[in-house]
Amino acid sequence: MEALADRIIPPDPQTPGGKDSGSAVFVDRQLAGAYGAQEGLYLRPPFLAGTKNQGHQSEAGPREEYQKGLAALDRACQAKYAGKHFADLSDGEKDDVLHGLESGAFKLDGTDGKAFFEQAIKDVQMGFFADPIYGGNRDMVAWKMIGYPGARYNYLDWVNRHNEKFPLPPVSMTGRAEWTPASTGGK
């Protein structure tokens, strides 16, 4: 998952990629929880192929879909690239595989590769931009990149100030790492 996240959001000199930003950790935590287990959803048959606007229509939840999708991705890569797993491919080869999944040209046995890839993109992006409390957006790197103030209690005086850089660093729901009782005078 880390290798997949790093190709969906590749690192650059200013911002870490999907792996180092914690996007793969975010996806892992979501799959381990209620989202991955489809808690709160109706899960009784019959399961019919729904239309695109009806969303996910399967007995298998996200956790199972990821397990099947990642395993099928590795099998397909091993078959095409002399036994190499996806994580062991060069960046160019990984990109070729992902472009093939996106177009539908690279097939995964037993799962819809295109749908798997589309879901992985959405989940990795959510991890990149989510509050760090959920495991992604480590050190608020994505928020710093786009100039998002985060969970500040009030920045109303900046709402209508377009094209001006907000002067303060972003704040997570839990505050900032450097805000400790000692640094705030015990308050």
Q: What is the pLDDT of residues 68-103, one digit of tens each?
A: 999 999 999 999 999 999 999 999 999 999 999 999
Q: 125: closest CA among 139, 133, 137?
A: 137
Question: Could you read off the pLDDT of 117-169 as tens digits, one per residue?
Answer: 999 999 999 999 999 999 999 999 999 999 888 888 887 888 898 888 888 88
Q: What is the count of structural domains for the chain?
A: 1
Q: Residue 117: which residues within 8 A CB-CB, separation 6 or more?
A: 98, 101, 102
Burial (0-12, 13-18, 19+ Cβ within 10 Å), 8:
buried
Residue 186 is assigned to a structural domain of this protein: no
> Are 124 and 27 contacting, i.e. CB atoms less than 8 angstroms apart?
yes
Residue 61 is assigned to a structural domain of this protein: yes
Residue 101 is assigned to a structural domain of this protein: yes
Residue 181 is assigned to a structural domain of this protein: no
| Structure token digits, residue 183 | 């640094």
Residue 105 is assigned to a structural domain of this protein: yes
Q: What is the pTM of this model?
A: 0.85
Domain range for 107 is: 2-43+57-149
**3-state SS, residue 6:** helix
Residue 163 is assigned to a structural domain of this protein: no
